[in-house]
Structures are given as C-alpha cells and as structure tokens.
Chains A and B, each alone.
Chain A
Amino acid sequence: MTSSVLRHRALLTVGSVAAVALPFLSGATSTSLYTRILIGAVGAIGLNIVTGLTGQVSLGHSFFLAVGAYTAAVLGGTAGRTVIGHDLDMTIWLPAAFVAAAVVGAVVSPIAFRLRGLYLAILTLGMVFVGLHLFREWTSVTGGAGIGRPAAPAVLLGRPLAEDLAVGAVTATSPTQLYLLCLAVFALATLAFVNLRHSAFGRAMVAVRDRDVAAEAMGIASRRVKVVAFALAAGCAGVAGALSAAETGYIEPGSYDVLLSVEYLAIILIGGVGTAAGPLLGAVFVVGMPRIVEWAQPLLPFVAAGTRDDGILTRFELQTFLYGVLIVVFLIAQPDGVSGALTRARDSARTWPFSRLLDHN
C-alpha cells in the first residue's frame, strides 16, 4: 500500500472522527448550522451528478426538493385541519422522498434529450414555476401559499429524535442526533458519488458531458445516461428536501423558488463542479454565510448593526449582498471553485520550494 493511500486513509479517519465528535463539542445553534450544511451538501451532490458529471444544466433543483419535502410531510406528518398526514416513521418517508423525487426526475428527463445549455436551463426553470403553482394550489398537501404546514417530524424506528438520548455517560441532544443522521446520509451520498464517478457508468456520464454526439457514436446510450442522471439528482434533492423540512419543522410552498435552485447551483460552483469535495465546501460557504456575516459585521464600518441607520447596509442586507458577490468572485477568480483552489494549494505545498522556482520562471 503506497504512502499516499495510507495518508489518504489516515486523513479520512481523522476527518470522520472529527465530524462525529463535532456536535458534542458545539452548542445547539452551531450543530443546527452544521446539519444544514450537510443537508445542503446532500442536495448539491445530486446537482453535481446531473450538472457536474453529466453536463446537464438544471435550474429545477428546487422543484425536486419540494417533491421530497412534501412526500415526507404527507407520509410522516400529522393530519391537521387543512392538511393530510399519516404519521409514518422516518424509515418510510425518507426513502419514499428519494423514490418519489427520483421518479419525477426520470419522468421529466426527456427534456434533456434534444436540448442543451441555455435552452435546457430555461426548460428546467419552467419546472420550478410549474411546481410553485402546483404546490400553492394543492393546499391539502402544502397548506397553501403564505401559510404552509408542519413538516414530517424526525421519528426514527418509533423514537422521536426530538428527545435527548443518553448512551452511558454521553448524551446526544436532539440537534446532535439529527446531525449524526444527516452525516450518515451525506457519507452515503458521497460514497455513492465517488463510486459512480469512477465506474463505467460515471465515465459514460462524463463522455456525454464532454460530447454527447461522440458518446453516442461510441455506443453510449446518452438518453439512458441522462434519465439516470436526472433520477439520481432528483432523488438526492428529494432526500435533502425531506431532511431540510425535518430540521426546520415547517415548510411553505413559496420557499421552493428559483432562488433556492440558484443557491444549489452556487454551492457546486463555489465548491467545485464535478468534484467529490465540492458540495461540502460550497455548502460551508453558502449555508454558513449568515454566520460569517454575523461575525464579520463589527469589522465592517459601512455595515450597521441591526436595523440602525448608521451604515450603508444593515447586517441582513449584507448577507443578501455578499451571497451574490461570492458567486461572482468565485466564477471569475476561481472557476473550479474551492476544491480546485485546495488541489492547487496541496500540489503547490507538495512541490515547494520547486513550485516557487517554477513560478519565477
């Protein structure tokens, strides 16, 4: 076994232990933030499959998130005065969210058979608007626009994750339990992505991305590849939607709009399109942005604390502003995202000082 493989495995082990230990060293708010980052990463893995690996530009990701969230809400949620729910366990509604969204993804995938690039992006955008209208009107499922409904609670094998769990001397609080569950889902999704990327089917996806006509000429069934890509992407989004809803506790149809799709696109662009680490790295920035701004606000003289008039921007406006700025900065300065920057930094460190000598020349 080579030293690089050993080093890689050691890093993975250390990283895994750190990831598991993280919530036990953090408060509830931070743990919730980490959970949302993981959920964002899971959804972004799906987008990475269809856009990063297969090259199909999709702005419809929020539609699949909604399908997953509402499938979970109907199966796992409680029936209310105006909404339906069946109080089923998470072991049912979470896989169901994947399957329902994947089926919808497979059904809509034919739009990618003959369209590419901008045209495909516009069509997938159309799905979002169709979805918005559908979910606004389907009040027995969604509660209706501007009102919403409670999400499916996280009840795993009959045990609500809202209750603290004591195992020996260690107590796992509710946020910790949800975090660990999402960590497991993220690990599974990442493993699946890495295996897919290195598989024959993954290479076929890349071939379709690079030149689908040539891929067809080589015997790759590009339509089948696209169907599977959309299905997997939608399935991941469905799981992310269901978990996100469980984490928040409440969902409203207006949330599943174009901006949410753009947010996921931003995650993979900032993190690194097509890379295994990209979804997590991108999610750290995009999902963690409010916390970063909160920390940075006292250092920025032009940003007012709270809602005061003594600045050009308020903290809340800065969050919105920074979000857009970050996407632009990364697209210009780091087209291959944080993952690409990390790779170059690692390579530069490995060949130092020769990397510096080469730079001078």
Chain B
Amino acid sequence: MSKSHSTRPAALLLASALLFGAAACGDDSDDTTSTGTSATPGESTAPAGAELELGDGVTEEPCPNAIDESHGCIYLGVLSDLTEGPFAQQGVAVQQGAVAFWRRVNEAGGIGGRFEVDIETYTRDNKYSPEEQVARYREMAPNILAVATSLGTPPTLAGLDLYHQDSMVVVPATFWSGWAFQGGFAPSGYSYCAESMNGLDWANDEFGPIDSVMAIHYPGDYGGDSAAGARVWAEANGVEFQDGDDLQTLPNASAGNQDAAVQALLRRNPDVVMLAVGPRETAEIVGRADAQGYEGRFIGSRPSWVGSLLEGEASQAIIDRFNPVSFIEPWGTDNAANAAMEEILGAGKVPSNDSFLFGWMWQYPVQALLDGAFEDGHLTREALTAALAEGIEVDYEGMMPDQVVGGDPASAVMRDALILQPDPANPLGSEVAEDFFIGDTAADFAFDAPCVEAG
C-alpha cells in the first residue's frame, strides 16, 4: 500500500468529521433563545419612551450584515422556486427584488427607526414542490415573523393548516383568487381568474370577435383559476367552452414535452388560447403551434412570461402571437417605485428579468403591516394577522394601482389589468400594449368567492 493511499482514508475521514461536526454543532438557529427573540413572546421590551412587544422572529440583536448595529432585526421567511422548478428564473429575480426593497428600507432606518429587516437568512428553495414547501416552512417557522414570499399556488396551499396554526402572515407570490378568503394571506394585484377575463376581453376587442377559446394550464389552482376565468368569460360572451377546451398539462420537467398540448391545440384550432403554464412551456407551445400553421392568438398568464423567451427559437412567434397580461408597469416606466429600484440597483443596471418588480411590489404590504405593528407596540404574528384581517391600505408608489390588502375580500379585489407586448427593444423584453383597463366581464363579475376552490 502506498503512502498516499494509506493517508488518504484518514484525511478523508478527518475532513468528513470536521465538515459534518461543524455543520451539526454549528449555530443551531432554530432555538428562539439563541437567535430569535431576545424577549420571550408576550414580554414587553421597552424602547425609548414606549412599550414594545417582540414576537418570534424579532430580536434586539442586529441582523447579520446590519447597516446599523444598534438596530434590532426582524426576520422574514421566503419560500420560492430557486433552482429546479418551472419558475426558477422568476423565483430568483423575485427574491432579488425583495432583497433590494428591504435594503432601501434598512438604509432609510428600517422599521420605526429601530429594526432592520432580514429577508435572506431564512430564504429556502421550495423547488415548486408542495412537499418541499411544507418541509422548509417547518424548519424556518420558529424563527420568522412572517413569510414575505411564498411562490407557487400548489406549494403555498400545501402549508395552509400550518400557517393558520402558527398565526403566520404569508405573502403569496401567486394570484389565485382564493387567497383573500383564507385569512392570514396578503395578496397583491388581481387574480388569475380576473386576468383571464381581462385578457380575453382585450383580445376580443383587438383581434375579435372570438368564436372559440381554449385554456392550456398547469394542474392545481394556478392553472385551474386561470381556466375558470376563461370559462366565465366564454359563458358571459356566448362562446362555447367545452371540456376539451380545458386542457391540463405538466411542466416539461415532468411531462418531457408539450406534444399533447400542441396536438390538441392544433386539432381544436381555437381563435385564442389562454396559457397558464411556465415560460419554457409557453415557448414550446407558441413556437410549435406557430410553426405548424396555427394562426390564432395566445394570451399569457403573467407567470407564463419572462423576457428571456425572446432569446430562444420561438422568439418571433412570441412577438407575433403572444401577449402576457400583467398589473405592474414594466421596467423603465416613470413612477416612484421604478425610480427607487433604479437608485438601489445603481445607474445603468437592469434586473435579470422583470419578476424583480414583482418581488419588490410584494413587500409593500409587509412594510405597511410592520410599520403599523410597530406603531401599535406589538411586533408579533398575532398583531400582523389581526391588522391584515381589518384590511390595510397599501401604496405601491405608482407601479400599480393602490389597493386594500386583507379585510373584506370583496373590497380588496383588483379588477384592473394591463396588456404587455413582447419587445426586444426593452431591456426586460416587454412594452405596454394596453394600459390599465377593466374589461366588461371582470367589471360585471362578483368575485365573492374563489373562482376555483383550494386543492
């Protein structure tokens, strides 16, 4: 046995023991006594001149990488698709937008001039999997005040009972129409259901009249909600919508390709297709349908679009036939939010994709909740949940219409939408084709219940 061979096992063993021992014996940040609250829940910690109750996820200790070491720290959790799932590209940009938002807040003094917000320590990859979501949520729950981003309707729904048990406010990075009815959720913007109605109303006016429509969508309440909106639009406008017009498909990671969806689309040849899938599937469906002679239009749910689609083979088909619906003004629009984002990123810098804007936008209600909770003297989950139940007015600094988040679902519903046109001339790939409007169908629809029930 050579010298190097005899020492290699020992070296490997030592390295392995060091690695795992350090990991296992390292800072066990799940104990609230170690890195969570320095004041136990319910026990007041008096700041200068006022009592302040600190709950789980809030501490007088500074955040890691704090701007001001004299400030305490509020920990927010993030559960997002960051590597393997169909929305990883958007998930990473959403998180970057959220981080930028709170950097701006922290640089301006934080919450109440006393607490900075940390949204990175408890960021976990849910891989767009309900199972991962629940597992990662259980890990972070003892250490956070709220979940500032939870991306994916099915994954977010999987943890519903757990969030309620923990009185955890969750910001869903999804537009399912049922969030407002669940309690404890702080959704912003319209629903997929309203999105479909507005998208089809616009398409009807722009390219119409529409005689046939098809919905191609993921399973679950993302796709189901979108398809439900398409069905409502069809019924309201006297357009036939048969079972075959409602087609479920899976992400390419599961299905391999969109052969079945494309063939079904070509067979039915609808005037308009409402797409509620991921960007990869959008490119394949639009590109292949166009290549095989389909002459209709595609309206895309917001998550189905990302600017990098204009770099692929389907780019021309995307430009010619596809219009995503949205409720946020694109990058570069003249409003206070965009100006703030540009300032934080630095001169000339552009986000990786426009999901960055959504990540930024989703934090406005969280900031409003935290500011209100601080002013009331209770930085606790229960206080945030109670404030949300009352409803809070949120100012989005011009990037979208101001909205009431929480409270009565009927008054919190947003019906407005805008239509985007993929455009390679814009740094993030799209321009506004139609500015904010409310289509007739969405205007007349009650939205007094979820368009599709949970699960």
- Choice from A249, A255, A348 contacting B10 with Cβ under 8 Å: A348
Does A252 contact B131, Cβ atoms closer than 8 Å?
yes
Closest A residue to B453 by beta carbon equals: A81
Contacts of B184 in A (CB 8 A): none
- Choice from A29, A319, A338 contacting B29 with Cβ under 8 Å: A29
Does A317 contact B83, Cβ atoms closer than 8 Å?
yes
- Interchain CA distance A248-B31 in the complex, whole Å: 20
Does B1 contact A30, Cβ atoms closer than 8 Å?
no
Does B30 contact A284, Cβ atoms closer than 8 Å?
no
B425 at interface, CB cutoff 8 A? no
Q: Mark A136-156, 1 if CB is under 8 A from B, else 0.
A: 100000011111101000000
Binds B, one of A4-12, A182-190, A288-296: A288-296
Does A306 contact B138, Cβ atoms closer than 8 Å?
no
- Interchain CA distance A132-B255 in the complex, whole Å: 10
B84 at interface, CB cutoff 8 A? yes
Contacts of A342 in B (CB 8 A): 9, 13
Chain A stretch 4-56: residues in CB contact (< 8 A) with chain B: 26-30, 32-33
Report the contact-size class of chain B (Cβ under 8 Å from the partner).
35 or more
B22 at interface, CB cutoff 8 A? yes
Does B129 contact A292, Cβ atoms closer than 8 Å?
no
Contacts of A296 in B (CB 8 A): 19
Chain A stretch 255-302: residues in CB contact (< 8 A) with chain B: 255, 284-285, 288, 291-292, 294-296
- Interchain CA distance A291-B24 in the complex, whole Å: 8
A341 at interface, CB cutoff 8 A? yes
B239 at interface, CB cutoff 8 A? no
Does B3 contact A146, Cβ atoms closer than 8 Å?
no
**Closest Cβ of chain A: how far from B349's Cβ, in Å?**
10
- Choice from B10, B26, B218 contacting A345 with Cβ under 8 Å: B10
Contacts of A33 in B (CB 8 A): 24
Contacts of B130 in A (CB 8 A): 146-148, 250, 252
- Interchain CA distance A133-B254 in the complex, whole Å: 10
- Interchain CA distance A27-B95 in the complex, whole Å: 28
Does B254 contact A333, Cβ atoms closer than 8 Å?
no
**Closest Cβ of chain A: how far from B181's Cβ, in Å?**
15
Does A80 contact B455, Cβ atoms closer than 8 Å?
yes
Closest A residue to B26 by beta carbon equals: A295
B158 at interface, CB cutoff 8 A? yes
Chain A stretch 68-98: residues in CB contact (< 8 A) with chain B: 80-82
Contacts of A356 in B (CB 8 A): 3, 6
- Interchain CA distance A338-B20 in the complex, whole Å: 13
Does A307 contact B99, Cβ atoms closer than 8 Å?
yes
Chain A stretch 312-356: residues in CB contact (< 8 A) with chain B: 314, 316-317, 319-320, 333-334, 338, 340-342, 344-345, 348, 355-356
Does A82 contact B131, Cβ atoms closer than 8 Å?
no
**Closest Cβ of chain A: how far from B376's Cβ, in Å?**
30
Does A248 contact B135, Cβ atoms closer than 8 Å?
yes
A198 at interface, CB cutoff 8 A? no
- Interchain CA distance A250-B163 in the complex, whole Å: 14
- Choice from A28, A249, A309 contacting B134 with Cβ under 8 Å: A249
Does A255 contact B96, Cβ atoms closer than 8 Å?
no
With A145-B254, A307-B99, A341-B13: A284-B2 Cβ-Cβ less than 8 Å: no
With A306-B123, A344-B9: A81-B455 Cβ-Cβ less than 8 Å: yes
Does B250 contact A146, Cβ atoms closer than 8 Å?
yes
Does A295 contact B22, Cβ atoms closer than 8 Å?
yes
- Interchain CA distance A148-B154 in the complex, whole Å: 8
Contacts of B299 in A (CB 8 A): none
- Interchain CA distance A341-B7 in the complex, whole Å: 10
- Interchain CA distance A89-B370 in the complex, whole Å: 43
**Closest Cβ of chain B: how far from A149's Cβ, in Å?**
8
With A147-B220, A314-B82: A307-B123 Cβ-Cβ less than 8 Å: yes
Contacts of B95 in A (CB 8 A): 306-307
B427 at interface, CB cutoff 8 A? no
Does A314 contact B92, Cβ atoms closer than 8 Å?
yes
- Interchain CA distance A143-B30 in the complex, whole Å: 31
Contacts of A114 in B (CB 8 A): none
- Interchain CA distance A333-B453 in the complex, whole Å: 53
Closest B residue to A306 by beta carbon equals: B120
With A250-B131, A252-B131: A344-B82 Cβ-Cβ less than 8 Å: no
- Interchain CA distance A146-B221 in the complex, whole Å: 10
Does B6 contact A145, Cβ atoms closer than 8 Å?
no
With A27-B31, A148-B154, A308-B96: A360-B3 Cβ-Cβ less than 8 Å: yes
**Closest Cβ of chain A: how far from B453's Cβ, in Å?**
7
Does A255 contact B131, Cβ atoms closer than 8 Å?
yes
Chain A stretch 81-127: residues in CB contact (< 8 A) with chain B: 81-82
- Interchain CA distance A81-B92 in the complex, whole Å: 34
**Closest Cβ of chain B: how far from A61's Cβ, in Å?**
17
Contacts of B99 in A (CB 8 A): 306-308
Does A251 contact B219, Cβ atoms closer than 8 Å?
no
B16 at interface, CB cutoff 8 A? yes
**Closest Cβ of chain B: how far from A228's Cβ, in Å?**
31
Closest B residue to A318 by beta carbon equals: B83
Does B24 contact A147, Cβ atoms closer than 8 Å?
no
With A81-B455, A292-B23: A145-B12 Cβ-Cβ less than 8 Å: no
Q: Mark B334-367, 1 if CB is under 8 A from A, else 0.
A: 0000000000000000001000000000000000
With A146-B220, A358-B1: A288-B131 Cβ-Cβ less than 8 Å: no
**Closest Cβ of chain A: how far from B79's Cβ, in Å?**
12
Q: Mark B213-252, 1 if CB is under 8 A from A, else 0.
A: 0000011100000000000000000000000000000110
**Closest Cβ of chain A: how far from B450's Cβ, in Å?**
13
- Interchain CA distance A80-B160 in the complex, whole Å: 14
Contacts of B108 in A (CB 8 A): none
Contacts of A252 in B (CB 8 A): 129-131, 154, 158
- Interchain CA distance A292-B3 in the complex, whole Å: 30
Does A285 contact B24, Cβ atoms closer than 8 Å?
no
Contacts of A316 in B (CB 8 A): 82-83, 125
Does A359 contact B250, Cβ atoms closer than 8 Å?
no
Closest B residue to A162 by beta carbon equals: B165
Contacts of B131 in A (CB 8 A): 148, 248, 250-252, 255
With A145-B219, A145-B250, A348-B10: A359-B92 Cβ-Cβ less than 8 Å: no
- Interchain CA distance A308-B356 in the complex, whole Å: 12
Sort A-B residue pairs by CB-CB distance and give the 10 closest, nearest first.
Answer: A29-B30, A341-B9, A250-B134, A27-B30, A344-B9, A27-B28, A306-B120, A148-B130, A307-B95, A27-B31
Q: What are 23 residue pairs bridging A and B, where the CB atoms are less than 8 Å apart in the complex? A: A27-B34, A82-B455, A136-B250, A144-B220, A145-B219, A146-B218, A146-B220, A148-B130, A248-B131, A291-B23, A292-B23, A307-B92, A333-B12, A338-B13, A341-B8, A341-B12, A342-B9, A342-B13, A344-B9, A345-B10, A356-B3, A358-B1, A359-B6
Q: A29-B139, A29-B142, A348-B6 are in contact. List 16 more A-B contacts (CB 8 A).
A: A27-B30, A145-B250, A146-B220, A146-B254, A147-B455, A247-B135, A248-B135, A248-B138, A250-B131, A250-B133, A250-B159, A252-B158, A319-B83, A348-B9, A358-B1, A359-B5
